[in-house]
């Protein structure tokens, strides 16, 4: 996908990614409210449109059908104005996004968040390791231009509010910079 030229859009697309539990959905909802952009929860889309090849019973999670997912999202992404919320960032075409935010959470904060979701031990351990190894951050840096990838801490409500304010300011500047 990387060699397909970018197409003009009047509003930016933002990807909010990170290990499960780092606050993608909560941050995306608040950022959508603050910016007027539309929150697109990819996990929900995968479930409601069956864009998967069944359940991985070990991890209690869906096995993505990436081609179906990209096809389903293409027309939604075209006009811009989407805040895409997903734990995987390296499956999307690079041209879709103007900003990629990777949320990060300290181990001592993330563990109880995952526990309180009722995840099984295997799934908790997998996600803790993902966060410790910075898997999503490194995937984001490999998949998108360096200058559009931003790492933000998401340990507290204060940090979340700061992150939302930052996204709002960034969006307003993008609109000014990209005005015809
Ligand atoms: P994700 O979408 O990344 O899986 P979430 O938005 O569903 O994460 O958040 C998981 C839980 O943690 C949810 O109960 C809200 C809470 N949470 C997330 N980010 C937080 C933050 N920065 N400060 C306090 N609580 C947070």
Report helix, strand and coil shares of the chain as percent, to nearest 5: 50, 20, 35
Report how far Cα 72 is from the mean position of its chain's Cα atoms: 17
* Domain 14-167 indexed as CATH 3.40.50.300: yes
Q: What pLDDT digit, counting tens, does each position of 169-180 carry?
A: 999 999 999 987
**Complex ipTM more than 0.90, yes or no:** yes
pLDDT band at 81 (very low <50, low <70, confident <90, very high): very high
Ligand 1 cavity residues, CB under 6 Å = 18, 20-26, 113, 154-157, 159-160
Whole-angstrom Cα distance, residue 11 to residue 6?
A: 13
Atom of ligand 1 nearest to the CA of 103: 3
The upper half-sphere exposure of residue 81, i.e. CA atoms within 13 Å in the direction of its Cβ, equals: 11
**Choice among 52-56, 69-73, 130-134 with the minimum mean pLDDT:** 52-56
Q: What pLDDT digit, counting tens, does each position of 109-129 carry?
A: 999 999 999 999 999 999 999
Residue 145 DSSP class: -
Site to substitute for ligand 1 among 19, 24, 46, 113, most atoms within 8 A of C-beta? 113
CA of 98 to the centre of ligand 1 (A): 24
For the chain, the structural domain boundaries read 14-167
Q: Are strands 38-41 and 149-153 parallel, antiparallel or unpaired?
A: unpaired
Q: Which two tokens stand for residue 5?
A: 């030229």
- Within 10 angstroms of residue 43's Cβ, the number of other Cβ atoms is 17
Site to substitute for ligand 1 among 19, 23, 123, most atoms within 8 A of C-beta? 23
Q: What pLDDT digit, counting tens, does each position of 17-33 carry?
A: 999 999 999 999 999 99
CA of 76 to the centre of ligand 1 (A): 25
Of all protein residues, whose CA lies closest to atom 9 belonging to ligand 1?
23
């Amino acid at each position: 996908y990387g060699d397909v030229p970018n197409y003009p859009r009047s509003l930016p697309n933002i990807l909010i990614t990170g290990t499960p539990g780092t606050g993608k959905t909560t941050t995306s909802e608040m950022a959508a409210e603050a910016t007027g952009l539309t929150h697109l929860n990819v996990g929900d889309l995968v479930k409601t449109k069956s864009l998967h090849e069944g359940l991985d019973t070990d991890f209690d999670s869906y096995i993505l059908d990436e081609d179906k997912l990209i096809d389903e999202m293409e027309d939604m992404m075209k006009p811009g104005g989407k805040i895409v919320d997903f734990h995987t960032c390296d499956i999307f075409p690079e041209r879709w996004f103007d900003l990629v935010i990777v949320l990060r959470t300290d181990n001592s904060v993330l563990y109880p968040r995952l526990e309180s979701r009722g995840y099984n031990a295997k799934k908790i351990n997998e996600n803790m390791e993902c966060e410790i190894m910075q898997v999503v951050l490194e995937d984001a840096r490999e998949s998108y231009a360096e200058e559009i990838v931003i790492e933000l801490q998401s340990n507290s409500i204060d940090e979340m509010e700061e992150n939302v304010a930052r996204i709002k300011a960034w969006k307003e500047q993008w609109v000014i910079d990209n005005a015809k």
